[in-house]
Amino acid sequence: MSLILKTPAEVRNFTKELHGKRLALVPTMGFLHDGHLSLMREGAQRADIVAASIFVNPTQFGPNEDLAKYPRDLQGDVAKCKSAGVLFVYAPEPDTVYPKGYQTYVNVENVTKGLDGASRPGHFRGVATVVTKLLALFRPHLALFGEKDYQQLQVIKALARDLELDVEIIGMPTVRESDGLAMSSRNSYLKGEERQRALALFKGLNAAQSANETSAEKLKAIIREHLSNARIREDYVEIVDAETLEPLADIAGRSARALVAGFVGTTRLIDNVAL
């Protein structure tokens, strides 16, 4: 049975009772899908107890982004957490996480440059801050995140390492619908034929992954052709080093990643694959 906790004091009281048991944490913004649940199930395989957080973090949304309309379903989410083996869920209110007078934020420097860091100024400051607070509060042995948000994963790995938080950050493969679309809470925004057009994100990435090509420009051209044919407005298409996220000119002999963000109608979606 999942127990809902609302305050840091309740979390601390609960974690005190773990008596050395191995704890896995899965931070989320809720409106859970099978991608989130795969992280929880993996956590249950690797640890004695799994906790999840459900918090739509206001500090990672820009002034013109979708904070107000971001989908929420706490009751349904808690039921899903229970089905995936989560023992307790932390679901605080915004003024609990950021009380009056709050003034401390976490900035991760190099790996936040470019990609979503350029398209969404301040986004990773909010992500890094809330994840640092969660890791400091729960003190888990491991925390699990999906590779769909690949830049976010690298940001969290960096802050955990640099701040010596003594937690293992585990990235798990992107979970996809049967047709290849990466599972995302924002998929619920897609209307009518937009859902079919959105498949071009993965089709383009898959084509680049399958191509016998090392030139980053040629790989990006393959992806862009798919976006253009599906009338997806490009935000970015990049070929980067898989760890540093620095742009690459050629992937020969490199561990590389292709990342894409685009607008299907008014819905912004992201995806990525290893090269």
C-alpha distances in Å from residue 124, one per residue of 11, 131, 211, 270:
25, 10, 32, 15
Instruction: Give backbone dihedrals phi and psi of 90, rounded to 5 degrees, phi first.
Output: -95, 115
Instruction: Give backbone dihedrals phi and psi of 144, rounded to 5 degrees, phi first.
Output: -115, 135
Amino acid at 158: A
Q: Are 235 and 269 in contact (CB under 8 A)?
A: no
DSSP element (H, E) containing 264: strand 256-264
Q: Are 24 and 142 in contact (CB under 8 A)?
A: yes
Distance between CA atoms of 150 and 174, rounded to whole angstroms? Answer: 9
Q: Name, in order, each residue with C-beta under 8 angstroms of 187's C-beta and a sequence gap of 6 or more.
A: 181, 195, 198, 269
Nearest residue to 50 via CA among 64, 66, 69, 37? 37
DSSP element (H, E) containing 90: strand 88-90
Catalytic residue among 19, 33, 36, 226: 36
Q: Based on the residue annotation, tell me whether 141 is a catalytic residue of this protein.
A: no
Q: Are 223 and 258 in contact (CB under 8 A)?
A: yes
Distance between CA atoms of 184 and 193, rounded to whole angstroms? Answer: 17
- Catalytic residue positions, numbered: 36
